[in-house]
Amino acid sequence: MRYLSQEWLDETRTLAAEQPARPGATARIQYVVTGGPDGDVKYSWELQDGMLLASHLGTIADPDVTVTAPYKEWVKIARGELDMSAAFMQGVVKVTGDTGKWLHLLPITRSREYT
């Protein structure tokens, strides 16, 4: 399975089905991963109370948050080698839109169920 492909996104949605509900963790997130082997990749997640309802390649209209990061660092985040919060604070991960909503979602990425 190729990383950042639609197949990979489908698998993340399948794995996320095991996540517990997290009331209030609701957002439409646009991800932009730059400088990958196949160029820039854009994909989106739609979360409702912590549940991943949809994940698609491409862009979505009116995202709450847009998260942009270089491919190399995004791989480190995915492998657990770089903490998302630390990457955000260091400016490696750029966030535009409702940063308050993004900060509310960050603790989920450190939860036992997420890893």
- pLDDT of res. 97: 97
Could you tell me the pTM of the whole model?
0.90
Beta bridge partners of 95: 67
Task: Work out the pLDDT band at 21, boundaries 50, 70, 90.
Answer: confident
CA angle 78, 82, 83 (to 5 degrees): 95
Which of 3.60.20.10, 1.10.606.20, 3.30.1050.10, 3.30.70.1230 is the CATH number of 6-109?
Answer: 3.30.1050.10
Task: Give CA separation, 1 vs 19, 44, 46, in Å.
Answer: 22, 18, 22
Tokens of 72: 């190399």
Is 46 buried (19+), middle (13-18) or exposed (0-12) by CB count in 10 A?
middle
Digit-coded pLDDT (tens) for 98-112: 999 988 888 776 665
> pLDDT tens digits, residue range 31-86?
999 999 999 999 999 999 988 999 999 999 999 999 999 999 999 998 989 988 89
Determine the pLDDT at residue 111: 61
Q: What is the pLDDT of residue 71?
A: 98
pLDDT score, position 3: 92
